[in-house]
Structure 1
Amino acid sequence: MKELIDQLGTTHTFEKTPKRIISLVPSQTELLCDLGLEDEIVGITKFCIHPFHLKSTKTRVGGTKKIKFDKIVALQPDIIICNKEENTKEIVEELSAICPVWVTDIFTIEDNLKMILDFGELFDKRTNAQKWIDKTNFALQDFKKFIKDKPEKKVAYFIWANPYMAAGKSTFINELLKLNHFVNIYEDKESRYPEVELKKIRLEGDPDYVLLSSEPFPFKDEHAFEVGRSTHHAKTVFVDGEMFSWYGSRLVKAFEYFKKVHDAI
């Protein structure tokens, strides 16, 4: 019998280690695999694309916002892994009738490390979890040395078009922008993902760079042209959205990717 508390403060009691896992969060699916739990995963979302082969070996139970409840019931899970931002409160409440629903809540790198530690305890993968925590900390310290003398640059990080939307405060993206010495011009907005009027972008912060994320919206050259025409001097840069928004084990790769971004701009 073990009693553990998730990142929303919900206490869960387990008589034995959960062996049938459904993950409704793509980045956490990748982490579970990296912790050596691929065989225990029975269900994933259609957006769980890492590792690539999972889409042909695991049952897809919908997306992150729309689930196929009957499919989930049929898989007889011992636990379902969710995230406060990725999955709705209604989904969590609905799924709680099936089995324990473990919810993560990630805003900072410290939150990320806590999630890895929790998964190690939850699934009896403590040694593997500690290895990933050590890898993350090592890569983080190495990146901090790299970034230490880099000057700050004002940026807007766009996540959507029609309407244009940007990452704002209280987001994992914003934490990683700050780590990169990128000053987010939308950090002070009330909304976490504020809508942006391109004609006002110069008045709202006049960024040096506009970062166009590869997800959740697939920005193309025409968007870069439209944004660039509105900002005049700001440079538009296509960036890998997974590196700026996926938590879990992806963060280790992200630090190396960030170095390439800085070398390119």
Structure 2
Amino acid sequence: MTLENDGPSTQQLQEELSGQKGNPPRIVSLLPSITEVLSSLGVADHIVGITHECDYPPEALEGATVVTISDISPYRMTQAEIHKQVTGSLVQGHSLYGLDAAKLKVFQPDIIFTQSLCDVCAVSYPVVTSTCAKIFGNGPHIVSLEPNNLKDVLETFLVAGRALKCEDVSKRVVDELQSQFDFIRITVNEHLCGRKRPLVAFLEWHRPFFTGGHWIADLMEIAGCDYRMCQSGDRSQAMSDEEFQAMDPDFILIGPCGFTVERAFEDTIQIMSPDRTDDNSKHGERSWWKTARAVKNGNVFALDGNSYFARPGPRLLQGCGLIARCVHGAEVAKKLGEELAPSSGMKQVTLNMYKE
């Protein structure tokens, strides 16, 4: 559902934020999810700096300049290669991302929104603070948003609202989001009508397997699923093939962090193929995959992890709707509609599609 902002006009909001006409705050957003949160509050026009991964919404990208750099090239690397480079950098204490200090100096931002939750996802908090200290001394104001679960995610809207002095707008946005999450919960419960919840697995990576962590458990609970891979707020964890086989879920949802549904689908249909990143051996071959119950029944879905699951922002609502759509089928999908459960965010993977 598209959130309707019935709050102050852009001009009124600018005046409220700046305290005087014609001088709105200059904002830098160092995480795609933060860019989406800020845009939902009506301040997209004030964003002057974004990350190389920010791709939504369009109004936040217009007039904004990329101020981050990265050594990771996900579109040219396999999941195994990305995992190897990420873990290697973290072990050595290297940051995966950096800031373009020259651009920051030119923009002279009033406020920078960042995070310290995950060094794999964005510029690390120490890099942000140290870079700003070198350039600006005591400024600009730095706000770090740290959501671990869905409750925390909704709180980030309020934190941003307080920082930008638009608390009323942020409260309306959060109330609308909560209302729509409640609608998904009610719709699914009516569909289940007391029946047992299906056992569902969520993978945010599969070379190696990684569980869906943080807010994924909350989305699963609202969407009427039995999710045992982690608890609300737990970090994503690696798991062995043997552990995954033993779970034998009814449904398998695959939404690799940072990947579109097209990339998720292409990787999923090759999930049985050997990992040949290190040598020509058959390391990582998963011939057992076709024997899994969910796979045999066609209950595997590739998802747009980049848009709807990896980013702790407003589109987690659609992620929750997508889970309900995949697991509970056409009846629930029809009641939720395309705005809450967009069909473009998922693709079913049937037994005949896999490559060996």
The interval holding the TM-score normalised by the smaller chain is 0.7 to 0.9
Partner Cα distance (1:152, 1:89) in 2: 40
- Farther off after superposition, 95-104 or 60-69: 60-69
Name which of 77, 98, 119 aligns with 2:109: 77
Partner Cα distance (1:112, 1:77) in 2: 24
Q: Is the 8 A contact 2:224 2:324 kept in 1?
A: no
Name which of 25, 31, 35 aligns with 1:25: 31
Q: Is the 8 A contact 2:67 2:100 kept in 1?
A: yes
Cα offsets for 1:81-127 (capped at 9, x unmatched): 01222442322432451422211111233222222122222212223
Structure 1 gaps, min length 5: 1-15
Q: CA 1:148/1:120 → structure 2, altered by over 3 Å: closer, same or farther?
A: same
Partner Cα distance (1:69, 1:115) in 2: 26
Aligned to 1:162: 207
Name which of 218, 232, 239 aligns with 2:292: 232
SS in 2 for 1:107: coil
Aligned to 1:67: 99
Partner Cα distance (1:155, 1:243) in 2: 17
Deviation of the 1:228 alpha carbon: 8.7
2:107 aligned with 1:47, yes or no?
no
SS in 2 for 1:105: coil
Partner Cα distance (1:53, 1:228) in 2: 46
Q: Is the 8 A contact 1:176 1:244 kept in 2?
A: no
Amino acid at match of 1:104: L
Which one has a larger percent strand, Structure 1 or Structure 2? Answer: 1
Structure 2 gaps, min length 5: 1-17, 71-96, 273-285, 331-356
Aligned to 1:94: 130
Q: Is the 8 A contact 1:46 1:55 kept in 2?
A: no
Q: TM-score, normalised by structure 2?
A: 0.61
Q: Is the 8 A contact 1:136 1:251 kept in 2?
A: no
- Farther off after superposition, 93-102 or 44-53: 93-102
Aligned to 1:245: 310
SS in 1 for 2:200: strand
Aligned to 1:9: none
Partner Cα distance (1:222, 1:89) in 2: 31
Q: Superposition RMSD on alpha carbons, in Å? A: 2.9
Partner Cα distance (1:183, 1:26) in 2: 29
Aligned to 1:3: none
2:236 aligned with 1:193, yes or no?
yes
Q: Is the 8 A contact 2:49 2:64 kept in 1?
A: yes
Cα offsets for 1:151-194 (capped at 9, x unmatched): 322222112233332224xx122322232233334217xx8222
Amino acid at match of 1:145: I
Q: TM-score, normalised by structure 1?
A: 0.79
Aligned to 1:206: 248
